[in-house]
């Protein structure tokens, strides 16, 4: 029969080896050992074991990655070669709250020591991956940046020309009104004309608000016209704005990850965790 006893807080599994027909004890560490590791240890002890598996009481096979701590919570079947053993682990006394807290502190300390010992290698590997990703993103962005610069220069030139044309038209209108007022007609005749011109301008500004849902502010109107020229030029040159924005976002995210990775460890820890450690 397979028996399980606890010795010094660790479970000791005793079973009969099929080849030598002698009892053998296996001490396992339930919090770190897995079912697969336990079965491999049994097979190493007796080379005549060709099959070693663990099944639950309902007949389902227990994965090799399952922790022994989980397995020992319920009854199970251990199959060695052609022999099946029904195993009933003893009920372990529950730890006191103080002992449980102490065990959690020990687990946390072990975890921090493991992280501290392996952090440098992991950090170097992660930094190398981020640098490779940055180089790849910059290589993809380089032709897009050059094309964007050309498109922006063209759109900015067209927008500036449009502004100068608007100034020229307003100057021409003012000069024509002055010429008609003082040299051709009189102010009494030109006053209604200027009124309707002003009223027409107000209607044009209101129509701009209806169409764009924005007030007619010169800087906003200039930016809107610039974007109109930019997107029209981008479509003509097959410049993918969405792809460019995604690459820029990925580049910024990678740079931020690299910056945080290169920070000292105490600067990357959350404030709450630092407080708890203190």
pLDDT digits (tens, 9 = 90+) for 173-194: 888 888 888 888 888 888 888 8
Domain with 51 in it: 2-87
- End of a domain among 87, 118, 148? 87
Could you tell me the CA-to-CA distances from 39 to 43, 49, 58 in Å, in that order?
6, 10, 20
- The rounded distance, in Å, linking the Cα atoms of 57 and 86 is 9
Sorted by sequence, the CB contacts under 8 Å of residue 138 that are 6+ apart come out as 251
Residue 8, domain CATH: 3.10.20.90
Residue 212, in any domain of the structure: yes
Residue 56, in any domain of the structure: yes
Residue 106, in any domain of the structure: no
Same domain, 132 and 249: yes
Same domain, 147 and 254: yes
Residue 150, in any domain of the structure: yes
pTM: 0.45
Same domain, 48 and 165: no
pLDDT digits (tens, 9 = 90+) for 6-22: 887 788 888 888 887 88
The mean of the pLDDT values for the chain is 79
Q: 275 or 184: whose pLDDT is higher?
A: 184
Closest CA to 218 of 175, 159, 158: 159
Residue 114, in any domain of the structure: no
Query: How distant is the alpha carbon of residue 84 from its chain centre?
Result: 48
Residue 120, in any domain of the structure: no
- In total, the chain counts a number of residues equal to 278
The mean pLDDT value for 253-262 works out to 80
- The rounded distance, in Å, linking the Cα atoms of 105 and 255 is 35
pLDDT digits (tens, 9 = 90+) for 81-94: 888 888 888 876 54
Residue 135, in any domain of the structure: yes
The mean pLDDT value for 215-227 works out to 77
Same domain, 142 and 246: yes
Residue 146, in any domain of the structure: yes
The whole-number pLDDT of residue 98 equals 54
Calculate ∠ Cα 58-60-62, nearest 5°: 120
Neighbour-count burial for 169-179, b at 16+ CB within 10 Å, e otherwise: eeeeeeeeeee
């Amino acid at each position: 029969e397979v028996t399980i006893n606890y010795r010094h807080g660790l479970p000791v599994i005793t079973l009969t080896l099929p080849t030598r027909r002698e009892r053998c004890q296996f001490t396992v560490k339930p919090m770190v050992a897995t079912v697969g590791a336990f079965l491999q240890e049994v097979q190493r002890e007796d080379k005549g074991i060709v099959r070693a598996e663990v099944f639950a009481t309902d007949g389902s096979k227990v994965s090799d990655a399952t922790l022994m701590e989980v397995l020992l919570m319920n009854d199970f079947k251990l199959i060695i070669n052609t022999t099946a053993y029904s195993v009933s682990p003893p009920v372990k006394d529950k730890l006191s709250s103080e002992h449980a807290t102490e065990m959690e502190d020990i687990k946390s300390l072990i975890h921090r020591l493991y992280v501290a010992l392996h952090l440098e290698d992991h950090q170097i590997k992660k930094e190398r991956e981020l640098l490779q990703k940055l180089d790849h993103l910059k290589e993809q962005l380089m032709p897009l940046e050059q094309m964007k610069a050309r498109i922006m220069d063209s759109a900015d030139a067209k927008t500036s020309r449009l502004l100068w044309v608007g100034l020229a038209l307003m100057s021409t209108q003012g000069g024509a009104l002055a010429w008609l007022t003082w040299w051709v007609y009189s102010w009494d005749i030109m006053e209604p004309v200027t009124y309707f011109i002003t009223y027409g301008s107000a209607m044009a500004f209101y129509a701009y608000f209806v169409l764009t849902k924005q007030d007619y502010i010169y800087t906003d109107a200039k930016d809107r016209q610039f974007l109109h020229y930019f997107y029209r030029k981008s479509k003509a040159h097959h410049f993918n704005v969405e792809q460019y924005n995604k690459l820029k976002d990925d580049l910024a995210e990678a740079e931020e990850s690299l910056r945080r990775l290169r920070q000292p460890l105490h600067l990357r820890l959350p404030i709450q965790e630092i407080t708890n450690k203190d």
